[in-house]
Structure 1
Amino acid sequence: MKTMELVFLLIFFPVTLSVKHSLKYFTTMSSGVKNFPDYVAVGLVDEVQWGYCDSISNTVEGKQDWSQKMFEDDPQHMELYTERCLSSQHKYKAHIDILKQQLNQTEGVHIFQRMHGCEWDDETGEVNGFVQFGYDGEDFIAFDLKTLTWIAPKPQAVITKHKWDRDTAHNEIRNYFITQECPEFVKRYLDLGKSSLLRTELPSVFLLQKTPSSPVSCHATGFHPYRAMMFWRKDGEELHEDVEHGEILLNHDGSFQMSVDLNLSSVTPEDWRRYECVFHLSGAKNDIVTKLDKKVIRTNWVSPSEFPAGPVIGGVVGLLLLLAVCITGVFIWRRRDNGFRPANSSDSSSSDPSSVKDAALD
């Protein structure tokens, strides 16, 4: 009887799945980085970059056709963001100077970041948001929307917390932007860019492997929107062990890519047929299922007996040097679900939290 009632409800009262859309702003102030803007700000809607500004150009630039047209049609909107770009870089330069002074840091590369924005549910209208600051890749202070007060995850930020808690007027302004203005911006941008932002595209899925002993990577690229998940399963059951999930990354054309690796070191060749990779895209009717099959795995690995060792050693050394340069140049940390990524400080002074003083930002 209960089954028949459930079927009746599904037929006459179909379930509509809500979609959460987001608008996020990432600003970065750096010190000690050569040949790079001191200040960089980007805006993302549904994880797609649509706006950009730095301390060299001092002008907001639309990164999508629809956002560039928006700025052309609405100069006041562009002036609003340009003004914020100019004012923020001066304010954050003061912040990073204060932190360096009070934390006894005189050399090295240092990064001060702010992340803020909102998430809007198009079915329920529910709005969530965040305002968070980080220093040298670690959480420094965050805004609590429920209490309109600040959270200091590190002892050095306690003085700043008390100072900012007392500024109730400014906290009310932050809350109003996140809960009122930000959702309206989300709706406006989604409407202007609906042909690209609200499109649904399935990815191409490949199985990749560096060497015969390496994990097999299930790689999906070219999908949109970013609301997707991918996993390995065995005999129809999702696997959690020997599996490593990668982040969803943005492609140059506004689509996304992601990977999930499977360690097969303890799996016999006879059992490979029991494994498959599943890609699920929000809004798509069917999943993409890829069977684990050696014949379809793509690799650039070649047996050592098939080529001379000299050029290979030279190539490997060259790649390692290139990798070292790339790692050295990376200093803008991506946001995790719970904050900034930890980073090693290059400053010559002590980075031990217990050995530094409290830092109070103005």
Structure 2
Amino acid sequence: MKALTGLLLLVFGHGVSSVLHSLHYFYTASSGLSAFPEFVSVGMVDGVQFDYYDSNTQRIVLKQDWMKQVTSDDGDYLERNTGNSQGSQQTFKANIGILKQRFNQTGGAHMFQWMFGYNRLSPPNGNGMGTELIMNTGKTYQTKECVDWLKKHLSYGKSTLQRTERPGVSLRQRRPLSSPVVCHATGFYPDRVGGVLGEETAQEAPLSQVDPGEVLPNHDGTFQVSVDFNLKAVPQEDWGRYECVVQLKGIEDISTRLDPALIRTNGEDQSGLTIPIIIGLLVLLLAAAAAVVGVLLYKKRNASDKRHKPVGSDTSSENTEGQNPAPEAQPLTTA
């Protein structure tokens, strides 16, 4: 068995050896922005928005279906948090006014943002817990209230927040041989994903020119990430010694060798639909052209029929207008 040496670990976001849960609130106050509310509050757990408030509506709006269970168990939740947000709205409005005075700015647009929350690091074996308070908002909030609400949200939204989605992995390259090979993983959840580039050889050094990308959200709530591998210094026949390995908690590692036969380049569609689409477009263009030619031929034939029609063949009343009537027959007379 070949020894797997020279592993380069690439971590996108947080490592997969532990799970980081978080509860964050974002407050945004503004002045002089007519198209933006004076105050906005957003609550997020593990990066997923669960409620929203702004100074225009002045009420809490739930953003997740599982939050209905929260309000069912806590009947005062909406009223209590709406009141808290309204109080924060007045406080931040006053703060904007104070800041404008201190900076001697009476006009223009101004914005002030504040984020506070709590991070909880849970090792898989359950031994120990690391915590980080994003902003010191009081000992009671730090040690009790924020911790309790994070646990509640994780419990209520377990099916959504603690699910695992397996990503699809593909290899791409803009230009054959000359541009980096891109390992693209998409459709995974949560966003804590890792990647490993491995080389199965004991004689050569590991590949070092690797550009890990940023984890980005998809429209369906999953995530995607791309990693660029610069293989210019590696002969193409040796590319297969390297592999892109995606690590995600709860699933087996997904290994994809950098085989040139698996790498798509510009002009190739990942789903293999490029040629059918081109053929379909050509068929549509030919059909449209045939329709235009048919209309032109029809008009030309009608015009030709009118030019060759015999004179006097039209017996309509319009053709007799303006003509002298035939003389009437006169009776015969005898001397």
| 2:185 corresponds to 1:220 | yes
Residue 44 (structure 1) aligns with = 44
Q: Is the 8 A contact 1:130 1:178 kept in 2?
A: yes
Structure-2 residue corresponding to 1:283: 250
Cα offset, 1:185, TM superposition: 0.9
What secondary structure is seen at the aligned counterpart in 2 of 1:75?
Answer: coil
Q: How many residues align?
A: 246
Amino acid at match of 2:185: A
- In 2, distance between residues paired with 1:175 and 1:34? 38
Q: How large is the Cα RMSD of the aligned pairs?
A: 3.2
Spell out the pairing of 1:262-273 with structure 2 (5 A cutoff): 262-273=229-240
Inter-CA distance 299–82: structure 2 relative to 1 (3 Å threshold):
farther
The one of 204, 218, 221 equivalent to 1:251 is 218
The one-letter code of the counterpart of 1:183 is V
Aligned counterparts of 1:209 and 1:99: Cα–Cα separation in 2: 51
Point out where structure 2 has 5 or more consecutive residues left out of the alignment.
1-16, 269-335
**Counterparts of 1:249 and 1:188, CA distance in 2:** 27
Q: Aligned residue for 1:295?
A: 261
CA distance in 1 between partners of 2:265 and 2:71 (Å): 45
Give the 3-state SS of the residue equivalent to 2:195 in structure 1. strand
Which residue of the partner structure matches residue 281 of structure 2? none
- 2: distance between equivalents of 1:108 and 1:46? 35
Give, as a single letter, the amino acid of the residue that structure 2 aligns with 1:182: C
Q: Is 1:21 the equivalent of 2:21?
A: yes
- Matches of 1:100 and 1:207 in 2, distance apart? 52
The equivalent of 2:77 in structure 1 is 77
Pairs within 5 Å for 1:330-341: none
Cα distance in 1, alignment partners of residues 208 and 32 from structure 2: 42
- Structure (1 or 2) with the larger CA radius of gyration: 2
1:280 is displaced (CA, Å) by: 0.6
Q: CA deviation at 1:223?
A: 1.7
**Structure 2 counterpart of 1:140:** none
Provide the residue aligned with 2:166 in structure 1. Answer: 202
Encode CA deviations 1:300-346: one digit per residue, 9 max, x unaligned: 458xxxxxxxxxxxxxxxxxxxxxxxxxxxxxxxxxxxxxxxxxxxx
Q: State TM-score, norm by structure 1.
A: 0.58
CA–CA distance in 1 between the matches of 2:152 and 2:72?
A: 15
Structure 2 partner of 1:114: 114
CA contact (8 A) 1:235 1:275 kept: yes
**Contact preservation (8 Å) 2:44, 2:50:** yes
SS at match of 1:44: strand
Secondary structure in 1 aligned to 2:59? coil
Higher helix share: 1
Matches within 5 A, 1:108-187: 110-122=110-122, 123-124=126-127, 126=129, 128-132=131-135, 143=136, 174-187=138-151
Q: In 1, distance between residues paired with 2:199 and 2:169?
A: 18
Distance change >3 Å, CA 231–CA 80, structure 1 → 2: farther
Q: Which residue of 1 aligns with 2:333?
A: none
TM-score by length of 2: 0.62
In the TM superposition, residue 94 of structure 1 has moved relative to its aligned partner by 3.0
Q: CA shift at 1:299, angstroms? A: 4.8
Contact 2:171 2:184 in 1 (8 A): yes
1:235 is displaced (CA, Å) by 3.9
Give the whole-Å Cα distance in 2 for the aligned partners of 1:234 and 1:57: 57
2:147 aligned counterpart, secondary structure: helix
